[in-house]
Chain A
Amino acid sequence: MGHPIPLIFERSVPGRTGYSLPECDVPEVPVQQLLPAGQIRQEAPRLPQVSEGDVIRHYVNLSSLNHSVDTGFYPLGSCTMKYNPKVNETATRLPGFARLHPLVPERCAQGALELMYNLEQYLAEITGMDAVSLQPVAGAHGEYTGLKIIAAYHKARGDHKRTTVLVPDSAHGTNPASAAMVGMKIVEVKSDCHGCVCLEDLKAKVDDTVAALMLTNPNTLGLFDINIAEIAEIVHNAGGLLYYDGANANAILGKVRPGDTGFDVVHLNLHKTFSTPHGGGGPGSGPVGVKAQLIPYLPAPRVVKEGDQYRLDYNLPDSIGKVHSFYGNFGVNVRAYTYIRMMGGEGLERVSEDAVLNANYLQARLKGHYHLEYDRLCMHEFVLSGKLQKAHGVRTLDIAKRLLDFGVHPPTIYFPLIIDEAIMIEPTETEGKETLDYFIDVMLQIAREAKEDPENVTQAPHTTPVSRLDEVGAARNPVLRWQP
C-alpha cells in the first residue's frame, strides 16, 4: 500500500465492531438509576468503528513507514540506538510480571521485589554508587529526581542559599529544564576547545550558592573530560555536588565509574545503555544512583531485604517523596535486568569496548571527507561538522535527509550547539564492520554529491514515504487532531 495511509477514523464504517465482550451476567439495571443525571454521557466519543482485521492492517501498514533499529542502521548520537534483544521482550511478558498488580500483598510479589532489589545493586556496582532508586521513568525524570535529592540534602544541612545549578553550554536541554522544575537558577559554564568544562570559567562561576554541577562524561562531543577529578574538587570545595547525566554511559561500562570520579548523583537511561527499546519515544527508565550521604533523600518507597524476604519501605522521613504513581517502569526494568544477566560484567565491558571501537573506526574513515573539529580518539560517539559541504550550499540537514535514501537513519544534527553544522554519530556496539563500511561508503558518496551534484542532496529524500514536510505551516496553523 502506498502512502498516504488513511487515518483510522477514515476507515470507520458505522455499525462495524472490533471487539468481543462477554454477555452481562449480572442483573441489568438502567444506568440512569446508578449515575448522576447531569453526568451521563450525551454524545458517544467519535472513535473509529472498525473490525479487528481493519485495525491490524492499519497499524501494520503504519509500522512499515517507520525506520527502526530492526530495519536499519540508526547512528543517532546521544541516543544509543543499539539492538534490543528479543529475550528481554519475552521475559517482561511472562504472566508473573505482566499481570502483577502493584498493590498485591508483598508476599505475593517476592519475585518482582527481588528483581528490583538486585537490579538496584547491579546498577550501583556499575556506576560506583551506594544506592539506586528505580522510580524515575525517563532520563529527564531521573534528572528531576536527582536534583530534588540534591536540594533536599542542602536544605537538611541548613544550607538554604544553594539555588543555582551549573550547566555546561554543551549540555542536553533537559538539564536546564529539570533544574528550573526544582526551582533552581541556571548558570552556564563555558566549554573549552574540546567541549570539556573550561576550568577558568568554572572557577569564576562556582560560589556558595551552587547546589550542583550537571555533567555528561564523556561529553556531548564524545570526548572524555580528563579534568574530571579537578572539576569535582572545585565543585566539592565550594560545597556543591556533582550530578552525572548518564546519557553517554555506554562508553564507560566496566572501565570507569562515575562514583569513582567524584560524582555524587547519577541517572542512567536504561533505554540507551541497557538495551531496552525506545518505543518510538518511550517508555524508558531513568534510575537514579546516589552516594551514601544522599540515601535518606531517595524517593519512597525503597525495596529492602530482610533475611530472604523483600519488602517496600515507606518509612523514610527525609525522602523527597514520590515521583511516580507506583514504583517506576517495572516492565522496562525487567528488560534491563534480563540484559545485565545475559551479559554479565565481562559482557558489559565488551559492550563499551566495541562501542568505542566502532565509533573510532567511523571517525578515522570519515575525517578528511567531513570536517572533524577535534581530531583525537573519541569515546562511543563523535561529532563531525558539515562546514566543508556548506561551502557548496549543502547543509547538514540536507546530508541527513540524503542518508534516508540509503536506508540509514541520520545522526543527531545541529547538536551540540558549539559545533557549526554538527553531525553527531553514535554507531553502538551492536553493528558489524560491514554495516559501518556501508555507512562510510554512503557518507563518502554524499560528500562527493555535495561537490558535484548538490541539488540531488538538497532535494533529498527521494525514496521515503513522504518528502520534506512543511514544518512552518504545521506550526503556524496547528492541526493537532482529526475532525470529522
Chain B
Amino acid sequence: MNNQYLPNTPEQRRQMLEAIGVGSVEELFSYIPEKLRLNRPLNLPHPMAEARLMAHMEELAGRNEVGAVSFLGGGIYDHFSPAAIDHILTRSEFYTAYTPYQPEVSQGTLQAIFEYQTMICELTGADVANASLYDGATALAEAAIIALNTTRNSKILLAGTMHPWYRKVLDTYMADLDAQVAEIPAVDGRLDLDALAGMVDKDTAAILVQSPNFFGIIEDLPGIGKMLEGHKGLFVVCTDPISLGILEAPARLGADIVVGEGQSLGLAQSFGGPLLGFMGVTEKLTRRIPGRVVGETRDTQGRRGFVLTLQTREQHIRREKATSNICSNQALCALAASVYLSLMGPGGLREVARQSLLKAAYAREQLAQIPGVEVPHAGPWFKEFALKLPRPAAAVIDAMVDRGYYAGIDLGRFYPGMEDCLLVAVTEKRTREEIDGFRAALQEVLK
C-alpha cells in the first residue's frame, strides 16, 4: 500500500531486510508466540483518503451546535481568544517537540515555560509556579496531596461551593490516601464561615475554597485565611485567572497554594479538553510542588539558558516517593496562556475582567426583571450567577437552544433541590444586544 506517512518504498524495505539478514518483515515478529498473534486484520473502518476524511470530519463537527449565543460557564468560558495565539500554537517547532530533556535544543520551550511560571506567579501572588498540570480539578487534588504530605494531617475541609466535578475528582484522589474529606456548608451561595470556624482544628490539613465559586460568588478569602492562623493546615484557593485582573491575588490574602483552570486564557473550549491546570505555591512549598519546573542558569560560555530543575521531586527519579506521578502535562496549553497574557498585558486583562463583571451585572439586572425570575443569592458576584426560574431549568434550556441561545447550566444536575435554577455566565464577548436578546427570548419561553 502507499501511504503518505510511510516513506519507505518496497525497494528500500528489501534493502533493509537484506542488511538485517532476514527474508521478510514477518520474520521480525517471530518472537511473538504464534498462539498469541491476532492473525486476522483489525476490524476497523477502511482507510480514507484525506479529502474524504475531511468531509467526514466536517460532517461530524457539523452535528455539534456551536452557533448559539453562549451563556455557558461552569469552568469553561467563551472568552475572546486573539488570532495570534493559534498562529503560535501551530508553530510546529513548538507542537512537535517532546518534553525539553535536551536543553541545548529546547530553549524555545524552556524559556516559554519560564515566562509562563513568572506570569502565574504575577497573577496569583505565589512565589513559585510549576510548568502546568492537567486541569483545574487535578490541580486541586494535587494541592490537597501537598497539604497531606506537608502537614501530615488528614483532614481536608472542602467547600460545598467548589465546582461539583472538581469535588468528584478530589474524592477519587483522596479515596485511597489517609484523608478524610469534610464538606464546608454554604448559606446563600457562599461558605458558612461560622460553620467553618467550628470545623478547623489542629488536625486540619487544608481548607480548599473556590473563589469566585461555582455560583460565581466571591468568597470571603481574607476571613477564611484568618481561620488557619496558628494552625499548620494550608489554605488552598482555586480561582479563575481572568478574575485576577481585577480581584486581589489569593496569595496576598493568605493562600498557601493557588490553583485553577486556565482555559479562559485563550484556550479553545474543545468539549472540555485539553485544559490547563495551573499551580502556584509559597516558597517554603517549592520542593513539594508536583510536575515539571524550569529554572534559569548559565551555559559554559556564561550565556543565560533554561533547564528543567528540582527534578528529584519527579517520578523518573524518585519513583514511588515522587511528589506526583505526573509526567506529560499540558505544555502547549501553558504556551497558549503565555501568549494570551503577553497580548493582554496588565491593562487588557483588567479590561477583560471588568467588562465580564459589568456585563454579568447588567445581564443579572435585566434577567431579574422577567416576571417569575429571581436572583437567589446576594453576591457579590464576578462573571457568573444563578437565576431561579418559575419552572425546571432543563426544559427552559432546551427551549432556548431553539431560539439560538445556550442559556446556562441546569443547577439541578449538581445540587438536588435547585432544579429550577440556571447558572448563567457572561464574558466580555457578549454584547448588550445579545444580552437584551437573551432576556427577550427567555421572557418568551417563560410566558
**5 A-B pairs (CB sep. < 8 Å):** A19-B344, A29-B358, A34-B379, A110-B64, A409-B105
Is A91's CB within 8 Å of the partner chain B? Answer: yes
Contact B297 A469 (CB under 8 A): yes
List, in ascending order, chain B residues with CB within 8 A of A179's CB.
320
List, in ascending order, chain B residues with CB within 8 A of A182's CB.
176
Minimal beta-carbon separation of B168 from chain A (angstroms): 4
Q: A344-B47, A480-B128 are in contact. Are A321 and B269 (CB under 8 A)?
A: no
Minimal beta-carbon separation of B316 from chain A (angstroms): 4
Is A452's CB within 8 Å of the partner chain B? Answer: no
Name B105-162 residues within 8 Å CB distance of A: 105-109, 111-112, 114-115, 117-119, 121-123, 128-129, 131-132, 134-138, 145
Choose from B45, B93, B221 the contact partner of A341 (Cβ within 8 Å).
B45
Name A130-153 residues within 8 Å CB distance of B: 137-141, 143-144, 148, 151
**Among A80-88, A201-209, A235-243, which stretch is in contact with chain B?**
A80-88
Contact A470 B98 (CB under 8 A): no
Minimal beta-carbon separation of A277 from chain B (angstroms): 5
Choose from B169, B292, B328 the contact partner of A325 (Cβ within 8 Å).
B169
Is A404's CB within 8 Å of the partner chain B? Answer: yes
Q: A27-B362, A59-B91 are in contact. Are A21 and B352 (CB under 8 A)?
A: yes
A52 to B348, CA, bound (A): 12
Closest to A91 in B: B57
A94 to B166, CA, bound (A): 28
A321 to B92, CA, bound (A): 36
Contact A325 B163 (CB under 8 A): yes
List, in ascending order, chain B residues with CB within 8 A of A65's CB.
105-108, 111
Minimal beta-carbon separation of B108 from chain A (angstroms): 4
Contact B345 A18 (CB under 8 A): yes
Contact B107 A326 (CB under 8 A): no
Contact B328 A410 (CB under 8 A): no
Contact B342 A3 (CB under 8 A): no
A461 to B104, CA, bound (A): 8
List, in ascending order, chain A residues with CB within 8 A of B246's CB.
31, 35, 40-41
Q: A66-B106, A433-B15 are in contact. Are A173 and B316 (CB under 8 A)?
A: yes
Is A393's CB within 8 Å of the partner chain B? Answer: no
| Contacts across chains A and B counted by CB atoms under 8 Å | 683
Contact B295 A474 (CB under 8 A): yes
Contact B298 A102 (CB under 8 A): no
A46 to B358, CA, bound (A): 24
Contact A101 B72 (CB under 8 A): yes
Minimal beta-carbon separation of A36 from chain B (angstroms): 5
Name A248-300 residues within 8 Å CB distance of B: 252-257, 260-261, 271, 275, 277-284, 299
Provide the B310-344 mask, 1 if CB < 8 A to any CB of A, else 0: 11001111111110111111111101001101111
Q: A21-B428, A114-B60, A328-B273 are in contact. Are A357 and B222 (CB under 8 A)?
A: no
Is A200's CB within 8 Å of the partner chain B? Answer: no
Is A315's CB within 8 Å of the partner chain B? Answer: no
A472 to B93, CA, bound (A): 28
Contact A254 B38 (CB under 8 A): yes
Closest to A35 in B: B380
A304 to B297, CA, bound (A): 51
List, in ascending order, chain A residues with CB within 8 A of B333's CB.
279, 282-283
Q: A7-B111, A21-B80, A139-B327 are in contact. Are A26 and B362 (CB under 8 A)?
A: yes
Q: A229-B33, A282-B333, A431-B7 are in contact. Are A344 and B165 (CB under 8 A)?
A: no
Contact A480 B117 (CB under 8 A): yes
Q: A41-B249, A108-B65 are in contact. Are A224 and B31 (CB under 8 A)?
A: yes
A360 to B30, CA, bound (A): 13
Is A454's CB within 8 Å of the partner chain B? Answer: no
Contact B104 A469 (CB under 8 A): yes
Closest to B331 in A: A281
Contact A467 B76 (CB under 8 A): no
List, in ascending order, chain B residues with CB within 8 A of A94's CB.
57-58, 61
Most chain A beta-carbon neighbours within 10 Å: one of B45, B102, B342: B342
List, in ascending order, chain B residues with CB within 8 A of A345's CB.
41-44
List, in ascending order, chain B residues with CB within 8 A of A347's CB.
1, 3, 6, 47
Contact A354 B8 (CB under 8 A): yes
Q: A70-B93, A321-B169 are in contact. Are A19 and B274 (CB under 8 A)?
A: no
Contact A59 B88 (CB under 8 A): yes
A227 to B343, CA, bound (A): 57
Minimal beta-carbon separation of B178 from chain A (angstroms): 8
Contact B218 A39 (CB under 8 A): yes
Contact A96 B64 (CB under 8 A): yes
Is B444's CB within 8 Å of the partner chain A? Answer: no
A95 to B362, CA, bound (A): 29
Closest to A279 in B: B332
A274 to B279, CA, bound (A): 30
Is B416's CB within 8 Å of the partner chain A? Answer: no
Provide the B281-314 mask, 1 if CB < 8 A to any CB of A, else 0: 0000010000011111111110111110111001
Is B46's CB within 8 Å of the partner chain A? Answer: yes
Choose from A90, A229, A329 the contact partner of B274 (Cβ within 8 Å).
A329
Q: A321-B168, A409-B102 are in contact. Are A104 and B72 (CB under 8 A)?
A: yes
Closest to A115 in B: B60
Contact A377 B28 (CB under 8 A): yes
Provide the A92-105 mask, 1 if CB < 8 A to any CB of B, else 0: 11111111111111
A66 to B92, CA, bound (A): 10
Contact B128 A279 (CB under 8 A): no
List, in ascending order, chain A residues with CB within 8 A of B36's CB.
228-229, 256, 260-261
Is B392's CB within 8 Å of the partner chain A? Answer: no
List, in ascending order, chain B residues with CB within 8 A of A254's CB.
38, 41-42
Provide the A175-196 mask, 1 if CB < 8 A to any CB of B, else 0: 0111111111010000000000
**Among A330-338, A384-392, A442-450, which stretch is in contact with chain B?**
A330-338
List, in ascending order, chain A residues with CB within 8 A of B355's CB.
21-22, 24
Minimal beta-carbon separation of A158 from chain B (angstroms): 17
**Among B17-25, B180-188, B191-199, B200-208, which stretch is in contact with chain A?**
B17-25
List, in ascending order, chain A residues with CB within 8 A of B94's CB.
59, 63, 66, 68, 279-280
List, in ascending order, chain B residues with CB within 8 A of A234's CB.
none
Contact A60 B91 (CB under 8 A): yes
Provide the A1-34 mask, 1 if CB < 8 A to any CB of B, else 0: 0011101110000001111011011111101001
Contact B346 A46 (CB under 8 A): yes
Contact A356 B29 (CB under 8 A): yes
Closest to B322 in A: A177
Minimal beta-carbon separation of A92 from chain B (angstroms): 8
Minimal beta-carbon separation of A357 from chain B (angstroms): 6
Choose from B82, B131, B171, B350 the contact partner of A44 (Cβ within 8 Å).
B350
Contact B177 A183 (CB under 8 A): yes
Is B421's CB within 8 Å of the partner chain A? Answer: no
Is B446's CB within 8 Å of the partner chain A? Answer: no
Contact A321 B171 (CB under 8 A): yes
Is A324's CB within 8 Å of the partner chain B? Answer: yes
Is A468's CB within 8 Å of the partner chain B? Answer: yes
Contact A324 B111 (CB under 8 A): no
Contact B406 A62 (CB under 8 A): no
Closest to B343 in A: A18
Choose from A323, A341, A350 the contact partner of B1 (Cβ within 8 Å).
A350
A105 to B409, CA, bound (A): 9
List, in ascending order, chain A residues with CB within 8 A of B25's CB.
353, 356-357
Contact A49 B345 (CB under 8 A): yes
**Among B48-56, B227-235, B368-376, which stretch is in contact with chain A?**
B48-56
List, in ascending order, chain A residues with CB within 8 A of B388's CB.
none
A484 to B397, CA, bound (A): 49
Is A418's CB within 8 Å of the partner chain B? Answer: no
Contact A471 B168 (CB under 8 A): no
List, in ascending order, chain B residues with CB within 8 A of A137's CB.
134-135, 273-274, 330
